[in-house]
A and B are shown apart, each in its own frame.
Chain A
Amino acid sequence: MPADRTTKLVSMRFGNEAAKTITGYEAAGGYSSLRKALAMRPDDITAEVKASNLRGRGGAGFATGVKWGFVPKDAKQVHLVCNADESEPGTCKDRELIYWDPHLLIEGMIVSAHALRATHNYIYIRGEMMREYAVLKKAVDEAYQRGYLGKNILGTGLEIHLTVHRGAGAYICGEETALLNSLEGLRGQPRLKPPFPAVKGLFGNPTIVNNVETLMNVPFIVERGGAWFAELGMGRSGGTRMLCVSGHVEKPGVFELPIGITFRQLIDEVCGGVWKGRKVKAVIPGGVSMPPLDDSELDVPIEFDALQTDERIKPVMVTPTQQFDLGGGRALRTMAGSGGVVVLDDQCDIPKAVWRIMKFFAHESCGQCTPCREGTGWLEKVARRVAEGRGKPNDVDLLAQIAHGIAGNTICALGDAAAWPMLGFLTKYRAEFEAAVNRAKVVAA
């Protein structure tokens, strides 16, 4: 049965203080999925995850079971790493998930580690999440005391360890290879891929990196089966989705919802509509890295494939006549990203909003590749002068050229993450940038 708006999995214990302790979690049925998983063969768990159509909730929406299948069968040492670095602007679900249900994450990790035959596993938590770190650390200690973690878990002879690793401030550490470098005690700079982490990752061993929400869904899949989970969703995307709504709506919040809900339903029916009785100008669909949607594009479901391919969404352009593609002629429309939906109302100053987004990327570029290091700084500088009414006649085209020069030419996707929204906003709100530049000319005259 497809999920409805009352279906709650990963958020079912939100607001339940008692369930944050191990006794409360067990009383609410916790760790029963782990007992079931321990009686299963590891490959059978992976098969259920494949059948579930679970897709990564960290940004790329990659099929989780397929990714797990990339680990070489003869690997001697495998690691599972949870990405809890949540820092994509607009995204605020992992922090809530950890705070309210730390044991669900731990259970998800133990089940997944068993499936992957991984003994030494890590949760990389963002340094600024001090409150959540304390909650998680306590929960991990409890799980060790109760025998869910350690050298011989629940008397099965299996060894599974889990260590919480605290970051120290750096958005780029959310990128999985930068995260691995940071875990290894190096500067958090991304690595060239391939090799992909599933083949050569942490300490040179095959490593699976998964998002918090992704891993929290695994116990439900083991408990009720992959087919059940797949049916909750739509198309090739199983389960429910945590959506974080911020910006100009009456009731912002973090909600677990059916994966097929549309932006229009989300804004009007879940979030009480646009604030102050206004209308939508733009919606950032999944964190600031993703190209925006305009008001005419909001009846599309917030589902991974739909957002990439639905023809109701206009393709992103480099110039008014040249379409941007991801290689192989695939047009970029947009992506579901990390679930961070940011609503911009009809009075919003788009060039200013875009400048703030570019400022973020310029600040967070790790500086390894020239197109990203120079390009993000340049985008910020030009976007700022346009937004402040000091734009030069050629600036709108210049912004597009710089962005086009970055996309696809860098070690990690941070470069793309800056270029795509720039090109997306220029495609859909070009007139506003031009008006800002013309305003500047008037001032100059």
Chain B
Amino acid sequence: MSLEFSADAQQKIAALRERYAVSGSAKPVVMAALHLAQKEHGHLSDDALKLVARTLDLPYAHVYGVATFYTMYKREPSGATTIRMCTNISCMLRDGYAVLEAFEKALGVKKGESTKDGAFHLVEEECIAACANAPCAIAGTQYLLDIKPGQVPEIIEQLRKKPHPEGEVV
């Protein structure tokens, strides 16, 4: 199936091409175009990668290479709100692993998995630059700071009412 970009995305891409014109290439726009494709098509299927390649007139292999290097680009469909729980050193020292377990329990999934209803995707994350508020996580586009394992069910309830897809930000 051939996919398309919305008029808004096309406009954003055109504006960015201008900003990177000094490079003499469309390559610097590929990351933003991938973010936009993921926002509009949910995940980066082969067709979404083809859309980016076609739009920027770049080889498919190049776009594929970039899309598979970075962890935030999703090649498979996943839950709407991604919860990125940090377990790196500062978070580990303040019980980050217990919070990760609490998320696993509350969602009924293991890290790396999505819930069956498609609402959540849980990821064990490396440091998210909020170490002074450890343990912490990013839920969609929001930071969750100083989390206690006991707060996790309530956090999930709130997010269920108001999902935060990462794609909102491009």
Binding site for B on A (CB under 8 A): 77, 86-92, 94-95, 119-120, 126-131, 133-134, 161, 163, 165-171, 182-188, 202-203, 244-248, 252-254, 284, 288, 340, 342, 344, 348, 353, 356-357, 360, 363-364
Q: How many angstroms from the CA of A287 to the CA of B132 in the assembled complex? A: 12
Binding site for A on B (CB under 8 A): 16, 19-20, 22-32, 34-35, 65-66, 69-73, 84, 87-90, 92-94, 125-134, 138, 140-143, 166, 168-170
Q: How many angstroms from the CA of A71 to the CA of B105 in the assembled complex? A: 55
Contact A168 B169 (CB under 8 A): no
B168 to chain A, nearest CB (A): 8
Neighbouring A residues of B138 by C-beta, 8 Å = 128, 130
Contact A128 B65 (CB under 8 A): no
Neighbouring B residues of A183 by C-beta, 8 Å = 28
What 8 new A-B contacts, CB under 8 Å, besides A133-B169, A169-B71, A247-B94? A92-B132, A95-B129, A120-B22, A131-B142, A166-B31, A186-B66, A253-B132, A356-B87
Partner of B127, one of A90, A168, A254: A90
B39 to chain A, nearest CB (A): 12
Listed by A's residue number, 27 A-B pairs whose Cβ atoms lie within 8 Å are A77-B22, A89-B88, A92-B130, A95-B130, A120-B22, A128-B84, A128-B125, A128-B128, A130-B138, A130-B141, A131-B143, A161-B19, A163-B16, A165-B32, A167-B31, A168-B70, A168-B73, A185-B25, A245-B132, A246-B131, A247-B93, A248-B93, A252-B131, A342-B90, A360-B89, A360-B126, A363-B126
Neighbouring B residues of A134 by C-beta, 8 Å = 141, 169
Contact A184 B27 (CB under 8 A): yes
Q: How many angstroms from the CA of A233 to the CA of B73 in the assembled complex? A: 43
Neighbouring A residues of B140 by C-beta, 8 Å = 130
Neighbouring A residues of B16 by C-beta, 8 Å = 163
Contact B133 A360 (CB under 8 A): no
Q: Which secondary structure dominates where chain A touches chain B?
A: mixed
Contact B93 A244 (CB under 8 A): no
Q: How many angstroms from the CA of A163 to the CA of B69 in the assembled complex? A: 22
